[in-house]
């Protein structure tokens, strides 16, 4: 199956306007001529519009770091799918472990967000991942199965074209500890098998599954060499243009 690699940078709550524009410009520059893979940036909402201007004409895709399921209304603090598309955004990260853990977003909220994103034509970058306690308690696969089933409940098979899954073990996020390529591959293969059961094999084979959690220039190549790893969701290293450019150009 030929899945197009996707290298995504999640800037989290970093960058004001000036540094965002500068970083986006550098990443845009190193993405010129990169045609065999997708590059995506998820800056904070406050700079989406500026970053869109900087990246205008480049092949870098723009995403929001979360998204609501409604188009508008009384949802203080939220951003709607049409707000994202109105500034040129094509995707939204949903269910990131920081949303789940710090802001207590539950499975139902995350599922509504995924459904809302695809309904309005956004690519949902749907994140799942186990905590250290869950891994050490031998519950990794059970937890992931629960998260994947709940997050994608009610998503129509044809909408799976708009879904990217990101496996991000919580213990590897921002810790400098990466899952080994074997650990990551094992989980990715498990998720793909689960998707085949939930939808069908062709769909499971076409869904991109990204790995996230301390992806760096020095581990991206071996991770990307795994058969079920189709890309990376990068936090810390996406804030440094040189590192992220190296990640984009993984071999
Ligand atoms: P990290 O973050 O690369 O800094 O570990 C990854 C993420 O949270 O998406």
What is the domain partition of the chain in residue ranges?
Answer: 6-248
The CATH code of the domain at 6-248 is 3.20.20.70
Beta bridge partners of residue 62, listed in sequence order: 41
Residues 246 and 250: their CA atoms lie apart, in Å, by 6
Backbone angles phi, psi at 60, to 5 degrees: -80, 130
Substitution site in 99, 209, 212 for ligand 1 pocket (most atoms within 8 Å of beta carbon): 212
Q: What is the pTM of this model?
A: 0.97
State the closest ligand 1 atom to the C-alpha of 213, by its place in the atom list counted from 1. Answer: 5
Substitution site in 173, 178, 210 for ligand 1 pocket (most atoms within 8 Å of beta carbon): 173
* Nearest Cα residue to atom 2 of ligand 1: 235
Contact 118, 106 (CB under 8 A): no
| pLDDT tens-digit profile, the chain (251 residues) | 789 999 999 999 999 999 999 999 999 999 999 999 999 999 999 999 999 999 999 999 999 999 999 999 999 999 999 999 999 999 999 999 999 999 999 999 999 999 999 999 999 999 999 999 999 999 999 999 999 999 999 999 999 999 999 999 999 988 888 889 999 999 999 999 999 999 999 999 999 999 999 999 999 999 999 999 999 999 999 999 999 999 999 98
């Amino acid at each position: 199956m030929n899945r197009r690699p996707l290298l995504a940078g999640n800037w989290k709550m970093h960058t004001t306007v000036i540094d965002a524009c500068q970083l986006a410009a550098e990443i845009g520059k190193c993405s010129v001529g990169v045609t065999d893979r997708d590059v995506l940036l998820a800056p904070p909402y406050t700079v989406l519009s500026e970053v869109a201007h900087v990246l205008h004409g480049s092949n870098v895709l723009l995403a929001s770091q979360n998204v609501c399921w409604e188009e508008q209304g009384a949802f203080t603090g939220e951003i709607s799918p049409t707000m994202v598309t109105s500034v040129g955004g094509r995707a939204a990260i949903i269910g990131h472990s920081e949303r789940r853990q710090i802001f207590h977003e539950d499975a139902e909220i995350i599922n509504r967000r995924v459904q809302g994103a695809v309904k309005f034509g956004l690519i949902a970058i749907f994140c799942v991942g186990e905590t250290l306690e869950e891994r050490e308690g031998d519950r990794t696969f059970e937890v992931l199965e629960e998260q994947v089933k709940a997050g994608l409940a009610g998503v129509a098979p044809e909408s799976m074209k708009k879904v990217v899954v990101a496996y991000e073990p919580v213990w590897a996020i921002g810790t400098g500890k990466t899952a080994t390529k074997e650990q990551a591959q094992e989980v990715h293969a498990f998720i793909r098998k689960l998707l085949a059961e939930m939808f069908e094999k062709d769909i499971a084979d076409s869904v991109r599954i990204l790995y996230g959690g301390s992806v760096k220039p020095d581990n991206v190549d071996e991770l990307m060499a795994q058969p079920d790893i189709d890309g990376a969701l990068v936090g810390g290293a996406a804030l440094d243009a040189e590192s992220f450019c190296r990640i984009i150009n993984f071999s």
